Structure 1
C-alpha cells in the first residue's frame, strides 16, 4: 500500500486544518465568553465518541444531606472562624477534617444556611465523594453561574476542560458565593481534574476524613480538625432530640458510652424519640447499649436514602477501609481489626514494634500483616482519620474512637476472631513489664497496657486472655495503684469465673489478687472472705502443698492480722513457710516473703525473743539470696523496723526505718503506698524520740499522699488524721 498523498492547506482567522491518515471522528467546539475574553478552543476529540457524563444533580442550591442538625452544639470557635471567612474578601479554602461521624457535614450545613440567609451569599453544595458525582455537581455549579447548555454538553461529553469551564463562571459570578465540597474523602478526586481552586469572589469549604493530603497545604488553605463533642454538649444533643426520654444526667451516661460521637448521638436520639412499640428511657437505652451498641444505635437511621451507608455507625468506617484497600493498603483493615481487640485508650506504638521488626509473624491473618506493611497501614489509617496520634505518659500512641472499634469488632468474620485475639494477646504479653518491675518507666508502661489486657478478655474471653488480665492486675497492685487494682481485679475475676468456672486455676489466681487489693483498700472482712474461699478451693482442687495453696495461706493471714486474729494468722504463716521451704526452697523469694511477714505477727503477739532471732536471720537471708533492692528485702527491713517500734525500741528502730524510707523512695517512688507506709513508720518513731516538728511535717506529707492515692474514706487516712491532730494539739503552747 502506497503512502497517502500529502495534503497542503492553510487557514486564516478562526479556521483550522486537520490531517488524518484514516477514517476518524473529528469534532470541534468554539466557545465565546463575550467581549474581552477571547475564545477557548476545546481540545479536539479524535477517535471514538466519548461517553456522556453523569446526570446533573437535582440541586446544588440545597445541601443534599441525610440529616441536618436542629441545633449545632459546641462548635462556636470553629463557626466564628468560618463566618469570618465567608464574610471576608474571599479566595480561601477551608478544610474540615476528622473521623467519620464527627459532624463535619453538620458544621458545613450550618455555615451554608447562615451564608445564604444572613449574608446574601449564593450557596453551592457538591457531593465530592466520587469522581462522577463531583464532576456532575461542579458542572451544575457552572450552569447555575451562567454556563450555556452547549458549553455544559461539551464539557460533560469530554470535548472541553470541565474544571476550567466551572471556575471561569465562578470567577465571573455576579454574586459572591460559598462552595461546599462535601465528603471529599479521596483527595485525588479533586486533584486529578484540578477541581480545587480559589477565587476572589467566594470561599470553598471542604469536608473530608483525609487529614494529611498535600492538596490541603496549598496557598489560601486552612485546616480545621473536627472532633467529638464535650460531654455536656453531647448530652444536650440527646436532650434536643428526645427531651422526654430522661434527665441530663441520664443523657450524659448515654453520651459517655457513645464516646460523644455526633453521628451516634443523633441516631440514638432519633431512636429514642420515634419508638412505637416500646418507649425506652435514657437509662434503659444505656443498659441496652451494653449488649450491642452498634446495632442498637443504627436503628435510629432513616430507612431510605441513597447515601444511607454514611448515616450508619456500623457502616461508615467501611467506606474509608474500602478506599484504603483500593489504594493498595488492605492491611489497614487487619491493623484496625487488631486494634479493635483492645480498648479505646491510647495504644503505645511500641506495642506494634515487634510486628514492624519482623519479630512476630502475622502472616496468618487475613489480609496478612507483613513487617514492611505496618508503617504504610498506620499512615493510611491516620490519613483517613480512623486513628489519631496522641501522647500519653510521654509515649507516642495511636488512638481510635470507641464506637469505631466496637463496630469494627462486630464486623470481624467469625473465622478470623480467634487468630486476631491470639495476635493481640501475644503482643500485649510481650509488652508487659517483667514481674516485679518497679521503675517509673515500667509503671508508666503498665498504666497504658492494662486497659487493653482487660478489653481483650472482654472481646475474647478464654483461658489465655484471662491469664494475661490476671497477670496485669497483679502488676497494677504491685505498682501501687491499689484503687485501680481493686477495680480491675473485681472485673477480671467476675469474667474469669463466668468463662472458666470458679475452680479454674486462672480464676482462683485473679481472686487471690482481688483479696489482696481488698485488703490494701481497707475492705478487711471482704478480703478475709475472698482469701478463705480461694484457700478452701485450692486445697480441694490442687492439694494442701501446692504453691498456690501455700500462697493462699499467706494471703489469708494478712486480713486476719489486721482484724486482730493474730493466733490464726500465725498458724497460717507458719504453714506457708514450712510448705514453701519444702516445695520451693529455703531461698525462694516467696519463702522469704512469708518469713518477713511473720515479723509483723510476732511483734503483735509480743514474742520479742523470737522476733529478734527471726528478724536478723530473714534480713541476712534476703541480702544473701536475692538481688539488691529486691522488694522482699525491703519488706523484711520494713517489718523489722515496725517490730522494733512495736516493742518501744525507738532508737533501734529509727535507722532501720529511715533506711527503709530512703530505699522505698528510690526503688518504688515517693508516691507508692508502701513508701508512704515507711513515711508513717519514720514519723511515728521520730515523734516518740521527741523530734516533733520532723514528725508533724512527715505526717502532713503522708496524709496528703494517702488521701490523693487511697481517698478520704480509707481507714488509714482517718487514723493518720486523728494522730496528727493529737500531736498538733500537744504542740500548742
Structure 2
C-alpha cells in the first residue's frame, strides 16, 4: 500500500453496508485498504432514542402523581442525561484519527490492509478432546454437504479453537477466509475485503454501497462459480442479525451465511437457538472437556505443576472449561505464580476452594479474571443490548442457590416476580459509574411498570440464557413429574455466588428472594405423594446451602420459614428413601433453629422431631429416641397433649421403642395414643391408621399373631378404599400382613403377598428404594423357607439385594446387616 503522503492523490470509493460507511482506498500497486466509519445518522438516532426515553420518563412522572418541585428536579437530571449522551454521540459525526480528512469527513489514515487469513498462530500446541468433531468438519471441507455448520456453546468452551484447527487443516485449499462478526464495523470492513478478494469489481462494490445491489449477493455469485474448494469461517457471530439480509432472518439463506456444495461455511457463536439459525443449519454444541482431557490441557501448559491425578482434580473443579484451564495453566507456569507461592495444581485448587473470590476476581489471578470472567460478561452485555438487562440480575440470583441443578418450579412464583433483586435499579454501579445517566435510569426504572419482572419476561430471559449456554435446561430424573432443572457451569455459578459476599442492598435482596422462593416451592407439596418423591432430592441441596449461607442475613420470620421448608423436605426425603440427605438437611435445620430462633420457638421442636425421623430411618434408634423425647417435652409445653404435632412425636417415639425391642413399652404407648388420635383426627385419618398399623406390628413381635393378622386386615381394608391399593401406606400394611402370614408358616400366601407388594413398590418407589429392597429380601427369605428356589438362585438374589443396600443405606444399616445375616445363614445351611 502507498505511503500516507502518496495517498493524497490516490482515488478512493465510499461504500456502505448495514449503516456502516467503508472507505475503499486503491494504491498504484493495485492493493486496497478499508476504513470503517459510522454513518452520520448514528448521532440523530442516538439523540432521538434519548428523547424518546425522556418522554416516557415524563409520562410516568405524571402518571405517578409526582409533585412539580420533585418532578422539576428529576427533569433536570434527565436533561443532564440527554446532554451527556449527546456529547458522547459526537464521535458518530467526526472520528479523531491521525491523518488527513477529505471533504466528506472521512479520514485517510495509515492502516495495513485487513487480513482475512485465519489467525492460526493463536492455536495451542495440542488440542484435547475434540478429535471427533474436528475430523467430521475436516471431511466437510473436502466434501461440503450444502448446509451451514455452526459451533455453539458457552463462552470459553473452545469454539474458535476448533474452527482454527479446521482452518489450519484446510490450508491446502486455495482459499480460506476468516471473518470476524464481533461487531458491525468489523464485519462491514471484512465483507468489502472479501468482495475484493473473490474478484467482485470495485464498480460493482460501489453500486452495492449506493443501494443499487446486494454486496453479499455479489460475493456469493463468485463463490458459487469458484473452481476450487473454499472455507469461510465466521467467528464470534453472537448477534446473528448482523449476518442477515435487511428484511430477513439469518436462517433464510439470503444473508452472508448460506449453505453451499462448493465450500464450507463454518460459524462460531454463543447462541444455540435452532429457530434462529434455520432448518438448513447443523448445530454442533461444543461441550466441556472431560476430567482426563482437562488434566492433559493443564499438563501441556504447566508440566511441572503436579501429577496427572492432581491435574484431573483441578480440571474437574474448573468444570472442563478450556478457557479457564488454559488461564490456570499459564498462571501456574508464570513467574508471578512462583512469587505468590502457587506452584502446583493442588495449590491452585486450594485457592479456588478456600478463597474463590480472591482466586477468580482478586489480584492473585487478575489475568484469569480478565479472560475468563469477562467472557460471560460479554454474553450478559449482549442480552442487555437485546432488551434483557434482567439476565445479569437473574444470574446473580442463581448464584444464591447451591452449585446444583435448580428445579424449575423453585424459580417460578410470586417471590420471584415481586423481588427487588430482579429490578433494573438492583444493579450496583461502582462509584466511577454513578453518573447522572445511571442515576436517572434507575429512577426511571423505579417508576416504569414495564421494568417489572413478570412470568413472560422470566421465560424469555431463561430461554435467552439457555441459548447462550450460561444455563442449561436438564432433566435430573426422567421418571419424576417435575424433572426439569436449570444448571449452571460450576465457574459461572461461583462467579455469581462470589458477588454475594459484597453485602450490598442488592445482595441482601438476592438472599431474601432465594429463601422466599424455597419456602414457596415446598409449602403446598405433599411429602407422602409418590409422584413428588423425585422432587425432594433436587431442592434439598439448595435448602442446605441457604441454611448455611443466607440465614445470618435474614429476618427472624424468614429464618423460621426456611427451617420449616427444610423440615417438610426432610419428611419428603424420608418417604423417597433418601435417608442420608434427609439426615444432613435435618441437622442443618436444627442447628439454625437453635442458633437463630428463641429457645421456646415451636420450630425448634419441629426440627428436632424431623431429625429424629431421619435418625430412625438410618437405624440410629437410640439417637432418634433422645431427639423425640426432647421434642415431646417442648411440644407438650407449647402445644398441649392433644395437638396433632404432639401426637405425631408420641407415635414416632413408640416406633423407636419397638425397633429397639422394647415391645411392652411400645404397646402401652400405642394403646394410649390410639383413642386420642381417633378422637382428635378421626378414625380413618392416615395418622390414626398408622398408629393401628404399628400396634399390630408390636402384637406380631410379641407373638399375638392371630390378633396382629386381624388388625392388619382391618387397616388394609380402609387403606385400599381411601388412598388406594397402590399407595405406599397400603403397600406397607400389605407387606406386614405377608410377614405375619409367614410367621404363621402360611408361606404360599405370604409369597403371593410379597410378590404383589414387590411389584407395587418397584412401580411406585423404584427398584432401589430401601422399602423395595426390604420387601425383596423378605420375599427371598420366604422362598427359602418354602424351598421354591435353588440355593444358587437364593445366593444371587441376596447378593444383588446386599449390593444395592450397601450403596443406598451403607454397610452399617440394620437392613444391610439383616441381609448379610441371611447370606451367612444360607452358607451354614448348605455346607
Change (3 A) 1:464 1:594: same
From 325, 331, 336, the equivalent of 2:384 is 325
User: 8 Å contact 2:537–2:581 — kept in the other structure?
Assistant: no
Q: 1:226 Cα deviation (Å)?
A: 0.6
Q: Distance in 2 between matches of 1:667 and 1:90?
A: 48
User: 8 Å contact 1:657–1:681 — kept in the other structure?
Assistant: yes
Structure 2 counterpart SS, 1:256: helix
Change (3 A) 1:67 1:362: farther
* 1:585-600 alignment, distance < 5 Å: 588-600=685-697
Q: Distance in 2 between matches of 1:507 and 1:281?
A: 46
| TM-score after normalising by structure 1 | 0.73
From 83, 87, 99, the equivalent of 2:154 is 99
From 704, 713, 720, the equivalent of 2:819 is 720
Change (3 A) 1:192 1:623: closer
Change (3 A) 1:481 1:649: same
User: 8 Å contact 1:267–1:301 — kept in the other structure?
Assistant: no
Specify the alignment match of 1:692 in structure 2. Answer: 788
From 246, 249, 253, the equivalent of 2:309 is 249
| Alignment partner of 1:436 is 2:528 | yes
Q: Distance in 2 between matches of 1:540 and 1:673?
A: 32
Map Cα deviations across residues 300-359 of structure 1 (whole Å, 9 max, x no partner).
Answer: 99867xxx987232x33332233223223345445555555555655566666768xxx9
Specify the alignment match of 1:468 in structure 2. Answer: 565
Q: Distance in 2 between matches of 1:89 and 1:361?
A: 48
Specify the alignment match of 1:234 in structure 2. Answer: 294
Specify the alignment match of 2:556 in structure 1. Answer: none
Q: Distance in 1 between matches of 2:716 and 2:258?
A: 78
Q: Distance in 2 between matches of 1:309 and 1:64?
A: 24
From 377, 383, 388, the equivalent of 2:467 is 383
Q: Distance in 1 between matches of 2:229 and 2:747?
A: 87
* Bigger Cα displacement from structure 2, 331-340 vs 497-506: 497-506
Q: Distance in 1 between matches of 2:241 and 2:570?
A: 47
User: 8 Å contact 1:345–1:399 — kept in the other structure?
Assistant: yes
Specify the alignment match of 2:126 in structure 1. Answer: 71
Change (3 A) 1:510 1:703: farther
Q: Distance in 2 between matches of 1:385 and 1:470?
A: 34
Specify the alignment match of 2:489 in structure 1. Answer: 401
| TM-score after normalising by structure 2 | 0.66
Change (3 A) 1:519 1:156: same
User: 8 Å contact 2:236–2:268 — kept in the other structure?
Assistant: yes
Q: Distance in 2 between matches of 1:285 and 1:29?
A: 50
Structure 1 counterpart SS, 2:244: helix
User: 8 Å contact 2:647–2:673 — kept in the other structure?
Assistant: yes
- In the alignment of these two chains, the number of paired residues is 680
User: 8 Å contact 1:476–1:484 — kept in the other structure?
Assistant: yes
Map Cα deviations across residues 215-259 of structure 1 (whole Å, 9 max, x no partner).
Answer: 74486x543211111232123323333444443333333333333
* 1:595-610 alignment, distance < 5 Å: 595-606=692-703
Q: 1:372 Cα deviation (Å)?
A: 3.3
Specify the alignment match of 1:82 in structure 2. Answer: 137
User: 8 Å contact 2:738–2:754 — kept in the other structure?
Assistant: yes
Q: 1:478 Cα deviation (Å)?
A: 0.5
User: 8 Å contact 1:257–1:286 — kept in the other structure?
Assistant: yes
Change (3 A) 1:655 1:379: closer
Q: 1:474 Cα deviation (Å)?
A: 1.9
Specify the alignment match of 1:420 in structure 2. Answer: 513
Specify the alignment match of 1:189 in structure 2. Answer: 242
User: 8 Å contact 2:780–2:797 — kept in the other structure?
Assistant: no
Specify the alignment match of 1:265 in structure 2. Answer: 325
Q: Distance in 2 between matches of 1:588 and 1:244?
A: 68
Map Cα deviations across residues 412-432 of structure 1 (whole Å, 9 max, x no partner).
Answer: 7325314532563266237x7
Map Cα deviations across residues 175-222 of structure 1 (whole Å, 9 max, x no partner).
Answer: 976443321100112225744467888644321011226674486x54
Q: Distance in 2 between matches of 1:130 and 1:79?
A: 27
Structure 2 counterpart SS, 1:692: coil
Q: Distance in 1 between matches of 2:757 and 2:225?
A: 82
Change (3 A) 1:659 1:391: closer
User: 8 Å contact 1:50–1:157 — kept in the other structure?
Assistant: no
Change (3 A) 1:590 1:271: farther
Change (3 A) 1:558 1:53: farther
User: 8 Å contact 2:410–2:517 — kept in the other structure?
Assistant: no
Structure 1: gaps of 5 or more residues: 1-27, 35-44
From 310, 318, 342, the equivalent of 1:279 is 342
* 1:325-404 alignment, distance < 5 Å: 325-333=384-392, 336-337=395-396, 339-342=398-401, 362=418, 365-366=422-423, 367-392=451-476, 393=478, 399-404=487-492
From 510, 517, 528, the equivalent of 2:622 is 528
Greater share of residues in helix: 2
User: 8 Å contact 1:95–1:222 — kept in the other structure?
Assistant: yes
Change (3 A) 1:609 1:74: closer
Map Cα deviations across residues 116-148 of structure 1 (whole Å, 9 max, x no partner).
Answer: 4xx366655443211122223444556778999
Change (3 A) 1:467 1:33: farther
Q: Distance in 2 between matches of 1:495 and 1:57?
A: 66
Q: Distance in 2 between matches of 1:550 and 1:69?
A: 68
Change (3 A) 1:611 1:179: closer
Q: 1:550 Cα deviation (Å)?
A: 5.2
Q: Distance in 1 between matches of 2:723 and 2:343?
A: 61
| Alignment partner of 1:674 is 2:771 | yes
Specify the alignment match of 1:41 in structure 2. Answer: none
Change (3 A) 1:706 1:30: closer
Specify the alignment match of 1:206 in structure 2. Answer: 267
Q: Distance in 2 between matches of 1:85 and 1:152?
A: 30
Structure 2 counterpart SS, 1:693: coil
Q: 1:102 Cα deviation (Å)?
A: 1.2
Structure 2 counterpart SS, 1:369: coil
Q: Distance in 1 between matches of 2:40 and 2:320?
A: 56
* Bigger Cα displacement from structure 2, 60-69 vs 665-674: 60-69
Q: Distance in 2 between matches of 1:293 and 1:75?
A: 29
Change (3 A) 1:100 1:683: same
| Alignment partner of 1:296 is 2:359 | yes
| Alignment partner of 1:225 is 2:311 | no
User: 8 Å contact 2:179–2:233 — kept in the other structure?
Assistant: yes
Specify the alignment match of 1:707 in structure 2. Answer: 803
Change (3 A) 1:141 1:449: same
Specify the alignment match of 2:67 in structure 1. Answer: none
User: 8 Å contact 1:238–1:269 — kept in the other structure?
Assistant: yes
Specify the alignment match of 1:132 in structure 2. Answer: 185
Q: Distance in 2 between matches of 1:57 and 1:501?
A: 74
Structure 1 counterpart SS, 2:267: strand
Q: Distance in 1 between matches of 2:174 and 2:774?
A: 69
Structure 2 counterpart SS, 1:596: helix
Structure 2 counterpart SS, 1:266: helix
Q: Distance in 2 between matches of 1:606 and 1:505?
A: 40
Change (3 A) 1:310 1:78: farther
